[in-house]
Amino acid sequence: MNKKKIIKFIAIVVAVIILAGITSLLVVFRGELGTLLNVSTEKEGIYTLDYIADYKLDQLLEEGGASNEEELVQYILRIMLKGLPIEIEYKIPELGCSTFIAETPEKGYIFGRNFDNQVTDLAVINTAPKNGYKSVSVINTSFIGYSETYKPDKILDRINMLASPYFPLDGVNEKGLAVGVLQLQAPPTDQKTDKVDIGTTLAIRILLDKCSTVKEAVEMLGKYDMHASAKGCYHLHIADASGDSVVVSYVNNEMVVTEKEGDYQCATNFYLHDVPFEYEEQGKDRYEKLVEVLGEKNGILSTQDGIELLNYVSIEKTEPDELGRVYSTQWSSIYDLNNAKLILCVDRDYDNPIEFPVE
């Protein structure tokens, strides 16, 4: 074999090896790559994602769960990204928020939710796990490391989006179970028994994937040790298509369930029951407005009524703080529990809601 033929042969071998490596990489990461290709922009500041990769929730729980965001991110890097040397930053700032459940004139139910926070982008995530229910949920993209200067617009900048199923802040599944989280300015929740460990957003993912009713959701939460995200304290408002509703909170690391009384239930940022300690109560003005409107209407609201109520208790943009941060109602969600869909208003644009069905 002459020199030219040897060089040509080596080039072919190298090309085959490279092609085989790329093919193997595509096979190993096909779900993840497909997911990243599914990131799109609904309009400025609103991303959507049809999540097709296996985010391996069952494996996480079988391995003992995660007691904080760092453990959760490390699991994502180890299992979903196969140990690649990639950093996923996360941060969870203080949250405002308001929620309610009401009956509709058609005898169905809607779950309303305002997310009040620093003004950033958001993403609507569709998930369809093999061993769970389909759902649509909303995340704040800053929680997984995005900012005004770093956005998931380019394929290489979307890696952080692979963490999105584990950071939902509200959502609904195909059975009509809806969940929303609200912050409390109270001692951190940090349960320590022999149960599997979960955090706040991981709890929401479990409920959306595994539960069809409020009763199932309450029983599910009781199976885990709750370690509240960002070493904080939160309560969860949970509702289902039958109209059942509870607010689950934690007091001195004990779970407390506040059931709906009457025609509706609402929550903001204070405990709905007595607690044996002092804490900073927030959102009572918003709560009183919710009760006022829901009481006047006997707990019956159309979807449009629900949107108007969320507008009524929304927060306008604040003046920039010392760090230049502006706070407002980032999004308002109306979850149609009987038709399993989200009606979303972003940045207080209540004239242009966007629908996202669970599919």
Q: Is residue 42, in this structure, part of any structural domain at all?
A: no
DSSP notation for 282-296: B-HHHHHHHHHHHHH
Q: Is residue 72, in this structure, part of any structural domain at all?
A: yes
The per-residue pLDDT for 34 is 92
Roughly how many angstroms between the first and final C-alpha of the chain, as a whole number? 60
Burial zone of 215 (CB within 10 Å; 0-12 exposed, 13-18 middle, 19+ buried): middle
Q: Is residue 43, in this structure, part of any structural domain at all?
A: no
Q: Is residue 181, in this structure, part of any structural domain at all?
A: yes
Using the CB atoms, write b or e for 110-138: b if 16+ within 10 Å: bbbbbbbbbbbbbbbbbbebeebbbbbbb
The per-residue pLDDT for 29 is 65
132 shares a domain with 213: yes
Q: Is residue 167, in this structure, part of any structural domain at all?
A: yes
Domain span including residue 81? 48-357
CATH number of the domain within which 310 lies: 3.60.60.10
13 shares a domain with 104: no
The C-alpha angle 36, 207, 70, rounded to 5 degrees, equals: 60
Q: Is residue 91, in this structure, part of any structural domain at all?
A: yes
143 shares a domain with 29: no
The per-residue pLDDT for 61 is 97
197 shares a domain with 339: yes
89 shares a domain with 17: no
- Total number of domains in the chain: 2
The per-residue pLDDT for 12 is 37
The C-alpha angle 281, 285, 286, rounded to 5 degrees, equals: 100
DSSP notation for 235-276: EEEEE-TTS-EEEEEEETTEEEEEE-BTTBEEE-BS-SS--S
317 shares a domain with 248: yes
Task: Give SS3 for 219.
Answer: helix
167 shares a domain with 30: no
What is the per-residue pLDDT across 173-185, written as a single tens digit (0 to 9) for each? 999 999 999 999 9
72 shares a domain with 20: no
Element (H, E) at 11: helix 3-28
Q: C-alpha dihedral over 76, 224, 268, 174, to 10 degrees?
A: 70
Mean pLDDT by 10 residues, the chain (359 residues): 42 36 46 92 94 96 94 87 66 79 98 92 97 97 90 92 95 98 96 96 98 98 95 96 98 97 97 96 96 98 98 88 78 98 97 97
Note the Cα 55 to chain centre separation in Å: 14
Alpha-carbon span 120 to 95, nearest angstrom: 13
The per-residue pLDDT for 93 is 61
Query: 355 with 339: CB under 8 angstroms?
Result: no
Alpha-carbon span 284 to 329, nearest angstrom: 16
263 shares a domain with 133: yes
Q: Is residue 94, in this structure, part of any structural domain at all?
A: yes
Query: 164 with 199: CB under 8 angstroms?
Result: no
203 shares a domain with 165: yes
From residue 102, alpha-carbon distances to 118, 177, 323, 327 in Å are: 28, 14, 38, 27
Alpha-carbon span 59 to 72, nearest angstrom: 12
33 shares a domain with 57: no
Task: Give SS3 for 94.
Answer: coil
Q: Is residue 82, in this structure, part of any structural domain at all?
A: yes
80 shares a domain with 9: no
